[in-house]
């Protein structure tokens, strides 16, 4: 019930602006319903008139009065009603198809826009495959249900109401007989729908997890092949696939059993109506023709009475997938946006200093990662963060760019807490070069100007020269117009990193963050990257995370982190003289090198 309520809110959010289309559709379906429920009365009238004609024809005394004129008129009205039903239903279907196409397109755009505003925490805690499944599988289920089930829902509800009205208008006793099996049908439907809802929810969640596993394995395919882990990878996939198979089978069984049960109830209901109708005809006060017509009409109504129910139950699996899809997509829509100050201040670079003051931070409540970290950086200084894996270096970087906010303490630029700046202003002044460079589909020029789409070609080339990548780009047949993607094989890891540095140079950030930018490259490429980094760092306030200590020997300040706390701080010579953790780390690396 909770899923249904949330799904209702989700659909209302996107469909309310199409109220006029729904109103027109409702009117057309009302006309269609009127045609379809009134038609059996004309069928009954035709049977009665034909019976009267045959009785008159077989009686020589009344044969001269026998006339099929009224029968033919009734038959033409009967056919016109079915034609009206078909035409209005066709127009209504076209309107709903248009609404479905536009609304699901808006849902996709809305989901993508929402993800651009969400906190980084969501992406860190959900697999790429699960997020992608919400774009594909869940939204596809919503589209399929709206495209196929929406018209049926409208039609079934309208027909059900129309049939009830006409049945009670025709004969109250037979109407109650026709409805006699309804409570049993409702109980069966409620039980089956509850079971199906739980099963389909599990199915979609398992599909999301399987997509996450597939995405992970595809991304790491080279590692898997190199280490001969193909069988282990297949075994892992089989476990996920087995879960999906079981949950999908359970969902399909429960969803699929509802329609046959309702068909069985429909046949039982028809038999009950025939029995009581026949008894009523034999023991009632109606003439033979009228009684026969009444039985024919209500047998038709008995079938039509369950037809809306059977139509909905035949689509129940699809409807339940749409409800589950709406729940999963709405989970994203209900996620909090990044925290923006009400009146964000502008930031025109660092004029004096950046201060990290007694910062405490935890990704999960009760599991603190940083314990009272304090770092003071003057404008133009380079600060290097070193320490073992898990010491909190990258966490400090995440806080500087407000991917996360501190639990206590604060980070200030020239005395102003960074939470008081608008995110756009803050991030406009911060440039990041990550350990794993990210390229986007497009040309090399597009990738370099990614942070500044309006940059001229001269600025793009200048940035590439500063990043030591211009000569390589110029050697390519298409130069800067070479098409690339993140997985483009013609680029080495080092070349991708140099393009990433060129992109950062182009944005001209005041605060630069380099997250182990030389960790995945060879010695020659490292020298090129280091030269490019020296150029981009010059004159800028910068934070550098480094495992290779020889790349940060000239840092103005080296901060040594261990278990989320600062254990040493100073320049290279000072820390060597102290002969502490950093000195030991440095000597070990020099021996290795």
Whole-angstrom CA distances from 76 to 52, 70, 85, 227, 368 are: 18, 10, 14, 78, 81
Paired with 364 in beta bridges are 367
pLDDT score at 56: 67
CATH number, position 567: 3.40.50.300
Residues in the chain: 593
Last residue of a domain, one of 304, 333, 362: 333
Tell whether 265 and 379 lie within a shared domain: no
Domains contained in the chain, number: 2
Output the six-digit token pair for 68.
């099929």
Domain containing 585: what range?
A: 353-592
Q: State the CATH number of the domain containing residue 324.
A: 1.20.1560.10
Q: What are phi and psi of 362, to 5 degrees?
A: -140, 135
Q: For tokens 């409800």, what's the residue?
A: 323
Do residues 400 and 473 share a domain? yes
Token code pair at residue 161 = 């109401």
Residue 181 inside a domain? The answer is yes
d(CA 518, CA 528): 10
Residue at which a domain ends, from 279, 305, 333: 333
Q: What is the pLDDT of residue 227?
A: 66
The H or E element spanning position 189 is helix 182-219
Kindly state whether residues 323 and 358 are assigned to the same domain: no
Mean pLDDT, the chain cut into blocks of 10 residues (593 residues total): 72 87 88 78 72 70 69 81 86 87 86 85 79 82 80 78 80 81 80 76 78 75 71 82 81 73 79 77 63 72 76 74 82 84 82 90 88 90 87 88 89 89 86 80 86 87 87 88 69 81 85 73 66 76 83 86 90 89 82 52
Tokens of 570: 């100073």
Give the whole-angstrom CA distance, residue 237 versus residue 223: 16
Given a contact cutoff of 8 angstroms between Cβ atoms, the answer to whether 360 and 371 are in contact is: yes
Pair (364, 281) in one structural domain: no
pTM value surpassing 0.95:
no
3-state secondary structure (DSSP) of residue 442: strand
The answer to whether residue 344 sits within a structural domain is no
Classify residue 229: in a domain, yes or no.
yes
Same domain, 322 and 373: no
Burial status of residue 172 (CB atoms within 10 A of its CB: 0-12, 13-18, 19 or more): exposed
In a domain, 341, yes or no: no
Distances from the Cα of 113 to the Cα of 148, 212, 333, 353, 446, angstroms: 27, 21, 10, 35, 22
φ, ψ dihedrals at 274, nearest 5°:
-60, -45
CA-atom Rg of the chain in angstroms: 36
The CA distance from 382 to 574, in Å, is: 16
For residue 348, tell me if it sits in a domain. Answer: no
The answer to whether position 546 is within a domain reads yes
Q: How many angstroms separate the CA atoms of 221 and 217, rounded?
A: 6
Q: What is the DSSP string of 91-137?
A: HHHHHHHHHHHHHHHHHHHHHHHHHHHB-HHHHHHS-HHHHHHIIII
Q: Are residues 148 and 272 in the same domain?
A: yes
Picking from 282, 299, 333, the residue at the C-terminal end of a domain is 333
Query: 488 is written with which tokens?
Result: 């483009």
Residue 578 has, within 13 A of its CA and on its CB side, a CA count of: 17
Q: Is residue 346 part of a domain?
A: no
In a domain, 552, yes or no: yes
Contact yes or no for 497/437 (Cβ under 8 A): yes
pLDDT of residue 361: 92
Do residues 77 and 187 share a domain?
Answer: yes
Tell me, yes or no, whether 236 and 364 share the same domain. Answer: no
Q: Which residues of 463-490 are buried (b: 16+ CB within 10 A; e: fewer)?
A: bbbbbbbbebbeeeeeebebebeeeeee
Same domain for 109 and 257, yes or no, is: yes
Of 260, 277, 265, 275, whose CA–CA distance to 303 is shortest? 265
Are 374 and 322 in a shared domain?
Answer: no
Phi–psi pair at 368, nearest 5 degrees: -70, 135
Claim to verify: residue 317 and residue 442 sit in the same structural domain: no
Return the pLDDT at 357. Answer: 92
Give the span between the Cα atoms of 178 and 579, in whole angstroms.
Answer: 94
Nearest to 512 by CA among 534, 486, 495: 534
One domain for residues 416 and 564: yes
């Amino acid at each position: 019930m909770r899923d249904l309520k949330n799904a209702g809110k989700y659909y209302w959010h996107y469909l309310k602006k199409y109220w006029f289309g729904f109103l027109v559709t409702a009117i057309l379906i009302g006309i269609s319903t009127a045609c379809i429920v009134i038609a059996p009365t004309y069928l009954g009238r035709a049977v009665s008139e034909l019976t009267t004609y045959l009785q008159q024809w077989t009686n020589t005394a009344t044969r001269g009065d026998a006339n099929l004129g009224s029968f033919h008129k009734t038959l033409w009205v009967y056919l016109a009603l079915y034609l009206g039903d078909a035409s209005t239903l066709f127009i209504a279907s076209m309107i709903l198809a248009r609404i479905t196409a536009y609304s699901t397109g808006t849902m996709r755009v809305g989901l993508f826009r929402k993800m651009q505003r969400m906190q980084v925490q969501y992406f860190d805690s959900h697999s790429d495959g699960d997020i992608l499944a919400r774009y594909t599988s869940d939204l596809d289920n919503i589209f399929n249900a709206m495209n196929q089930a929406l018209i049926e829902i409208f039609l079934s509800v309208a027909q059900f109401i129309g049939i009830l009205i006409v049945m009670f208008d025709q004969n109250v006793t037979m109407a109650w007989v026709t409805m006699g099996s309804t409570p049993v049908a409702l109980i069966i439907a409620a039980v089956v729908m509850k079971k199906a809802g739980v099963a389909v929810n599990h199915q979609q969640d398992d599909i999301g997890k399987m997509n996450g596993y597939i995405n992970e394995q595809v991304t790491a395919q080279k590692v898997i092949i190199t280490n001969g882990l193909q069988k282990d990878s297949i075994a892992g996939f089989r476990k996920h696939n087995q879960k999906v198979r079981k949950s999908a089978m359970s969902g399909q069984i429960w969803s699929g059993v509802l329609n046959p049960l309702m068909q069985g109830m429909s046949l039982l209901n028809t038999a009950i109506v025939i029995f009581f109708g026949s008894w009523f005809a034999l023991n009632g006060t109606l003439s033979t023709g009228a009684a026969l017509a009444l039985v024919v009409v209500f047998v038709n109504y008995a079938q039509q009475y369950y037809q809306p129910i059977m139509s909905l139950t035949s689509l129940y699996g699809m409807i339940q997938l749409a409800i589950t899809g709406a729940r999963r997509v709405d989970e994203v829509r209900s996620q909090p946006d990044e925290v923006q100050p009400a009146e964000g201040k502008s930031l025109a670079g660092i004029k004096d200093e950046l201060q990290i003051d007694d910062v405490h931070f935890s990704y999960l409540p009760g599991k603190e990662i940083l314990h009272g970290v304090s770092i003071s950086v003057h404008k133009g200084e380079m600060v290097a963060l070193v320490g073992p894996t898990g010491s909190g270096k990258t966490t400090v970087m995440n806080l500087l760019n407000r991917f996360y906010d501190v639990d206590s303490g604060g980070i200030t630029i020239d005395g102003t807490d960074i939470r008081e700046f608008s995110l756009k202003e803050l991030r406009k002044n911060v440039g990041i070069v990550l350990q794993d460079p990210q390229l986007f589909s497009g040309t090399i020029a597009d990738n370099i100007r990614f942070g500044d789409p309006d940059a001229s070609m001269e600025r793009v080339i200048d940035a590439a020269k500063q990043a030591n990548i211009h000569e390589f780009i110029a050697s390519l047949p298409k130069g800067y117009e070479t098409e690339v993607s993140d997985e483009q094989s013609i680029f080495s890891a080092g070349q991708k990193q140099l393009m990433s540095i060129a992109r950062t140079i182009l944005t001209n950030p005041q605060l630069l963050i380099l997250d182990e930018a030389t960790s995945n490259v060879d010695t020659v490429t490292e020298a090129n990257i280091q030269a490019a980094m020296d150029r981009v760092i010059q004159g800028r306030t910068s934070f550098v995370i480094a495992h290779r200590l020889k790349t940060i020997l000239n840092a103005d300040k080296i901060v040594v982190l261990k278990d989320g706390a600062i254990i040493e701080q100073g320049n290279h010579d000072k820390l060597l003289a102290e002969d502490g953790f950093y000195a030991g780390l440095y000597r070990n690396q020099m021996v290795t090198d």
